[in-house]
């Protein structure tokens, strides 16, 4: 696992990776399990290499591997990858500049990353570049309309505050919660920006799902093909 020159700013997760690992295994374990289930259902069974872009602690690797994929992870945060190395082969890399040959990967999985990468359009462009023609791109994320810095949850009700239409990195807001977001911030991007980031690459969206048991869906699932 090589080191990446980050310049002055270390990756935002470096200082919180140990906390995040405990959080995913503890308080957020239900959410993590649902994310993994949605990701595997979107990707489906397959052989060949699946690149987990922004893999974090690699928590979804075992489930993806059970589908037949050879899962390899990349992430900007060396500290996150210290947890991931026990779960899958990894490399430190910027998802917007993958050290991977063009059209060399059979599938891309990604979860909860447009909320963390600085340039979502560049990240999807890069995913499309490395995918084989016909390869799958499966992406799961919290729903940007109903889980955002501007969406305040009140039991089964949602109070939508102004600000939804503006993209930006936020550390505070009525919907920011008490999990990882006050620590690393969240890149809020409206739904159209998330979807258009995918279509702009030439990837063809096969399906979009909105999942969640409560009155408002909390997960967005995108499956596209190159």
Ligand X SMILES: C[S@@+](CC[C@H](N)C(=O)[O-])C[C@H]1O[C@@H](n2cnc3c(N)ncnc32)[C@H](O)[C@@H]1O
Binding site for ligand X (CB under 6 A): 11, 13, 35, 54-56, 59-60, 75-77, 80, 94-96, 111-113, 116-117
Query: What are the distances in angstroms from CA 48 to CA 41, 72, 99?
Result: 17, 11, 18
Long-range (24+ apart) CB contacts under 8 A made by 95-99 are: 95/53, 95/54, 95/123, 95/126, 95/127, 96/122, 96/123, 96/125, 96/126, 97/126, 98/51, 98/53, 98/74, 98/126, 98/127, 98/129, 98/130
CB of 156 to ligand X, least distance (A): 25
**How far apart (Å, rounded) are the C-alpha atoms in residues 225 and 101?**
18
What is the token pair recorded at 115?
A: 């909320």
Q: Which is nearer to ligand X, 13 or 146 (CB)?
A: 13
Q: Which is nearer to ligand X, 3 or 133 (CB)?
A: 3
CB of 118 to ligand X, least distance (A): 6
CB of 93 to ligand X, least distance (A): 6
Q: Which of 4, 18, 5 is nearest to 82 (CA)?
A: 18
CB of 162 to ligand X, least distance (A): 25
Q: Which is nearer to ligand X, 94 or 203 (CB)?
A: 94
Alpha helices (runs of H) in the chain, residue ranges in sequence order: 17-25, 29-43, 61-65, 78-84, 120-130, 181-184, 191-199
Q: Which is nearer to ligand X, 115 or 135 (CB)?
A: 115
Residue nearest to ligand X as judged by C-beta position:
56
CB of 131 to ligand X, least distance (A): 16
Q: Which is nearer to ligand X, 69 or 156 (CB)?
A: 69
In which element (H, E) is residue 87 found? Answer: none
Orientation angle between helical segments 29-43 and 17-25, nearest 10 degrees: 80
CB of 39 to ligand X, least distance (A): 8
Q: Which is nearer to ligand X, 80 or 148 (CB)?
A: 80
């Amino acid at each position: 696992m090589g080191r990446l020159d980050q310049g002055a700013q270390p990756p935002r997760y470096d200082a919180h990776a140990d906390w995040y690992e405990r959080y995913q295994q503890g308080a957020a374990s239900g959410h993590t399990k649902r994310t993994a289930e949605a990701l595997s259902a979107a990707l489906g069974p397959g052989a060949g290499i699946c690149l987990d872009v922004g893999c974090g602690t690699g928590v979804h690797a075992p489930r993806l591997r059970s589908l037949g994929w050879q899962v390899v992870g990349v992430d900007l945060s060396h500290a996150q990858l210290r947890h991931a190395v026990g779960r899958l082969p990894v490399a430190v890399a910027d998802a917007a500049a993958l050290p991977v040959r063009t059209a060399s990967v059979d599938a891309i999985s990604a979860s909860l990353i447009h909320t963390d990468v600085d340039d979502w359009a560049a990240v999807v462009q890069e995913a499309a570049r490395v995918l084989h023609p016909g390869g799958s791109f499966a992406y799961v994320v919290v729903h940007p309309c109903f889980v955002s810095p501007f969406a305040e949850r009140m039991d089964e009700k949602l109070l939508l505050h102004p600000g939804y239409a503006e993209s930006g990195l936020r550390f505070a807001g009525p919907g920011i919660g008490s999990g990882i977001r006050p620590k690393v911030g969240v890149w809020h991007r409206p739904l159209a920006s998330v979807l258009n980031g995918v279509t702009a690459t030439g990837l063809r969206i096969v399906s979009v799902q909105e999942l969640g048991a409560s009155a408002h869906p909390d997960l967005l699932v995108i499956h596209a093909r190159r």
